[in-house]
Amino acid sequence: MLYLDASALLAVNLVGGSRPLLLDAMTADPVWCSSALSLTEAVGAIDRLTDEAVLRADLEDAIRLTWDHVAVVPADRRCLDRATELLRERPLRLCDAIHLAAADRLERPAGFVTVDPAQIPVAQALGFTVVSP
């Protein structure tokens, strides 16, 4: 099982960069999950990537198509309580803590896919195999 954070959800749908590495990991382990926050975060980032309306629409469509294959981990009270613990233990941004708290609900072994280097050490400390460029 792979947990995809918002940066991975976005990067896997962008040409070039870390896409081949992420696609290889996703092909090798086709069971994907993510926090309910990820879709909002990934789609919200599109406008910072391009000013072209057609490219924005195409990227949003691609992200939403990927999302159709993702099991959603709820950002419920349990998730937010765990995120609070992580925020108190480590120097994390709120969205990173929510992603890591959602992923922490998964059985191990599991992978954590991210393009955000701030999440890597915490994901590793939580026992995940990290896939990142």
Q: How many domains does the chain have?
A: 1
Tell me the residue range of the domain where 118 lies.
2-131
What tens digit of pLDDT does each residue of 8-44 get? 999 999 988 889 999 999 999 999 999 999 999 999 9
Q: What is the DSSP letter of 117?
A: G
CA distance 102 to 28: 22
What tens digit of pLDDT does each residue of 71-80 get? 999 999 999 9
Q: Which of 121, 124, 115, 128 is nearest to 18 (CA)?
A: 115
Token pair of 119 as six digits: 């999440």
Q: What is the CATH number of the domain that holds 20?
A: 3.40.50.1010
Q: Where are the beta strands (DSSP E) in the chain?
A: 2-4, 32-35, 70-73, 111-113, 129-131
pLDDT bucket at 61, cuts 50 / 70 / 90:
very high
- In this prediction, residue 57 carries a pLDDT of 96
Strand partners, 35: 73
